[in-house]
Amino acid sequence: MSNSALFDKGLKIRNEVVGEEYVRRAFDKAGDFGRDFQELVTEYCWGASWGREALSRRDRSLLNIVMLGTLGRSAELALHLRGALRNGVTPDEIRDALIQLTIYAGVPAGVESFRIAQDVLENPEAQSNA
């Protein structure tokens, strides 16, 4: 693992948003081949991006929900929906964000995103796959 302050900051944020168990599994599954990737994601995605202060974690969660739903990234959407709930986003706010997504990204993206959100809201403690 990296020893940089940015990595440590990112690891703390990543653990808080998506859960320590998920992060542990992601590193364990990465093995030697994917370890550098996990370190990069932790340092730059979570440390350099999520670690900035102009947007709250709650706001970043809402942005990620809409972007991941628009891109059709189902597994990551489920993960970030759970993170959004941890960050204080309400089910009503998730619903409105997905309605906004549907208008601008299209009905198929909305249908899939609503399906995933409903699954997450019905079972928020289920673990996403790393």
Domains of the chain: 5-49 (no CATH), 57-122 (1.20.1290.10)
pTM here? 0.89
Mean pLDDT score, 38-61: 97
Q: pLDDT confidence of 2, banded at 50, 70, 90?
A: low
User: Cα–Cα–Cα angle for 41, 24, 6, nearest 5°?
Assistant: 40
Question: For the chain, what is the largest distance between any 2 Cα atoms, rounded to a whole number of angstroms?
Answer: 44
Q: What is the 3-state secondary structure (H, E, C) of 75-107?
A: HHHHHHHHHHHHCCCCHHHHHHHHHHHHHHHCH
